[in-house]
Every structure is written in C-alpha cells, then in structure tokens.
Amino acid sequence: MTRSILATCRQISRAAALALALVLAPSFVLAQTAPAAAGAAAAGAPASGAPANFAPDRDYRIGPEDLLDITVWREDAMKQQSLVRPDGGISFPLIGEVLAAGKTVDELRDEITKRLEKFLPSPVVNVAVVKVGSHRIYVIGRVNKPGDFPAGRFIDVLQILTMAGGLTPFANENRIQIIRREGGKQTIIPFSFGEVRRGIKMEQNIILQAGDTVLVP
C-alpha cells in the first residue's frame, strides 16, 4: 500500500515537472535568442531579404538627391556629407556653390581641389557617393520583387530582372517591354526572356538607362 502511494506521488511529480518545463520553454528560448538578435541589430546586420548597399562605379554621373561624402585631408572641419539639390548644386566651405550633377566623382573632386588651392596649400580631396537617389530603374508587373533599383553602373535587362527576384509563374516572359523616355518622347523596346534564355537574339539584352521602366505582363 505504501509503495503504491509513493509510486503515485513520483508520477505526479514527474508530470508536474514536465508541465512546468513546457511553460518555461518559450521564455527560455526567447531569452537565449534575444541577445543574439540584439547583437545583430547593433552590428548593423541587414534584415532578411534586404538588398546590399549599392556602390556606384567610377563612371557614374552624380544627380540630384544623391548623397555625397566629401573630405579634405588634415582638414577635419571641412568634412561633410552633402545632399545634391534639385538644381544639381552643393555648398562647400571656402568655395561656396559647386555644380555636382552631371559630373563623375573624379571630376567633382578635381574641381573642388582646384578651387580650394586658392585657400589651402596642396589640398587632398576625396569625394564618394554614399547613397544613390537620382538614377533609378523601375520594374513593375509580374516579378517577385517589383520596385525601383539604382542604375549607377551598367545594368542589362537580365540583371535587373534578377534584382527584381525573377519572373512569377504567371508572367508572359516573351512580351516584356522596356519603356524609355528621351527628349519628351516615349519609346517601347520589346524583350523576349524566352529567346534570350535560349541564347537567341542576345542583342535584346540591352544596357538600361536611368529612368527606364521594365514592364513584365
């Protein structure tokens, strides 16, 4: 009789312990994963699926709404980030207004350097585009990630479709259109993904221009 009571008590204790473990398990997992998540956020880790930072090449032409980082060696007071205004200009210490739009980073650096030589001996200037806000390519229609994408380097149609996550199963891959505006006129350029995928008429895979819209029906 006594042994039966003790066995019953042990079974009740085990069941209670199991129930308590199930209640505490989510809290324990959350407590273990929260520091790791916080550490990733503090380190600036991008969210899942977030695109990597875009780095324009040396031939990129600066445009309005681009963010520039400008430094002068040994002149910390002149270090600044400048947002290119809609008129294409920026302001810089000592030299005042500078037209940035339409120039490469090297051309803008050379101009700032030349104008600073009136005030500083042998200035060493560095210019970098830290955020592209002007030149964009737009992808709409039946792609997995429609939106706008930076166009600071040579990007062809296949590359922009890849950046947009590829075509959905319902896309008409042979009737894709590139819509381009030039001189106030709109031009429609056809693109057949099926042909290019088979290596046919590869000239369709053109280099896109800033402002182009890729329509996937």
| Dihedral sign for Cα atoms in the order 179, 181, 185, 189 | negative
Q: In what order do the strands lie in the sheet with 176-182?
A: 147-150, 136-141, 213-216, 176-182, 185-191
CA–CA gap between residue 25 and residue 63 (Å, rounded): 54
Domains of the chain by residue range: 1-45, 67-131, 136-216
CATH architecture of the domain with residue range 67-131: 2-Layer Sandwich (3.30)
pLDDT at residue 10 is higher than 90: no
Please give the residue that has the higher pLDDT: either 135 or 202: 202
Q: Could you tell me if 80 and 37 are in contact, meaning their C-beta atoms sit under 8 angstroms apart?
A: no
> H/E element holding 115?
helix 105-116
Average pLDDT over every residue of 178-195: 93
* Euclidean distance between CA atoms 72 and 49, whole angstroms: 36
CA atoms within 13 A on the CB side of 17: 6
- Give the residue from 54, 62, 141, 48 showing the smallest Cα distance to 98: 62
Contact, 120 vs 79, CB < 8 A?
no
The pLDDT assigned to 54 comes to: 56
CATH number given to 136-216: 3.10.560.10
Q: Which SS3 state, helix, strand or coil, does residue 4 take?
A: helix
Q: What is the mean pLDDT of residues 166-192?
A: 94
Q: What is the pLDDT of residue 55?
A: 61
pTM over 0.85: no
| Structure token pair of residue 83 | 């947002």
pLDDT in tens, 118-166: 999 999 999 999 988 878 899 999 999 999 998 756 789 999 999 999 9
Mean pLDDT across the stretch 105-115? 97
Backbone angles phi, psi at 117, to 5 degrees: -60, -20
Lowest mean pLDDT among 42-46, 93-97, 123-127, 130-134: 42-46
| Cα 52 to Cα 6, 25, 31, 39, 91, distances in angstroms | 63, 35, 29, 19, 29
If one compares 196 and 136, the residue with the highest pLDDT of the two is 196
The reported pLDDT for the residue numbered 150 is 81
Check: CB of residue 216 under 8 Å from CB of residue 190. no
Least confident of 4-8, 112-116, 151-155: 4-8
Residue count of the chain: 217
Cβ neighbours for 210, distance < 8 A, ≥ 6 positions apart: 63, 134, 135, 136, 137, 151
Percent residues over pLDDT 70 in the chain: 73
